[in-house]
Amino acid sequence: MDITLITTWIHPILAVIWVFPLIGIVTYFSLQVRQRRLETTTGKKSKIPPAVGVEHVKLGRWMAGSVVILCLVGLAHPTITKGFITQHLMTENPFLGIFIILIFIFTILSLAFLYRAKTKLWRGIFATLTSMGLIIIGSQEWIFRRSSEWYLSHYYYGLTSTILMVVSLAIVQEIYKDRSHKWRKAHIALNIFAVLLFIGQGITGIRDVATIAFFAAK
Ligand code: HEM
Ligand code: HEM
């Protein structure tokens, strides 16, 4: 039993049994919210219950945080196996090793504070810090980025969709406050793009699982 290979599966398993079902539920509720709002603004009585809005946001908050954690798990595996174990980071470059551990901790803390932040300023600060943490961890040399084929890269799709989730968390209050619906429209556009990226993550993720298994079997 190769422990490095087996632990590679933690991230895909988490994606399949927890994150993707949540994405499906949140997307379903989003269509209900929209349909209900369009029906009620044209004066019609909607058959869709008003609770769909609350459910969309409640599960949306769970989903957004879960995507960030999933992304961190996806980044943690190569960081530990390639960076810390194969490249002996703690003996070769202990400063970088400690820095990376601290960035993991700060990113999780920033996400937790983003959930609790009340003002626009603090939401902006913690959303930026969470995104910066993900980018710093993701730019280390041991992360496989497939930069020459960035348009098929699990890394670039993953980081972009995760940052879009952080943005969604940060702008929830703005969607409710804004009477001109600008934030609502921005939210819809960004999240349709995120859903397309999630589909891309499903496809590129399966490709990567298969590729890793193929090379391990050789
Ligand atoms: C799969 C990703 C998502 C999609 C496709 C999506 C799409 C939508 C759509 C179509 C609406 C209805 C807009 C309208 O009234 O016309 C909406 C509303 C909303 N969404 Fe999302 N959304 C997603 C994720 C999220 C997440 C992660 C959050 C929060 C963290 C969130 C927060 C909200 C809020 C606060 C509203 C307004 C609800 C209301 O008016 O009662 N959404 N979203
Ligand atoms: C929201 C969905 C997802 C996000 C945000 C995400 C994000 C990431 C990130 C940032 C990495 C590290 C960079 C890399 O090695 O490419 C990664 C690695 C990986 N992901 Fe995903 N991923 C998602 C879904 C999936 C799914 C559905 C699968 C497969 C079924 C999958 C399989 C993998 C594999 C095999 C790796 C390599 C892990 C390693 O090298 O140890 N991912 N993911």
CA of 174 to the centre of ligand 1 (A): 12
Q: Is 63 in the pocket of ligand 1 (CB under 6 A)?
A: yes
CB 61 within 8 A of CB 117: no
Which residue out of 20, 154, 198 has the highest number of ligand 2 atoms within 8 Å of its CB and is therefore the one to mutate?
Answer: 154
A 10 A CB-CB count for 30 gives 21
Mean pLDDT, rounded, for 47-70? 97
CB 137 within 8 A of CB 82: no
Atom 15 of ligand 1 has which residue's CA nearest to it? 34
pLDDT above 70 covers a percentage of the chain that reads 100
Residue found under tokens 């509720």: 29
pLDDT above 90 covers a percentage of the chain that reads 93
Atom 18 of ligand 1 has which residue's CA nearest to it? 30
Atom 43 of ligand 2 has which residue's CA nearest to it? 74
| pLDDT interval class at 1 (50, 70, 90) | low
**pLDDT tens digits, 148-194:** 999 999 999 999 999 999 999 999 999 999 999 999 999 999 999 99
CA of 7 to the centre of ligand 2 (A): 12
CA distances from 77 to 10, 72, 87, 88 (A): 9, 9, 14, 15
Which pLDDT belongs to residue 143? Answer: 97
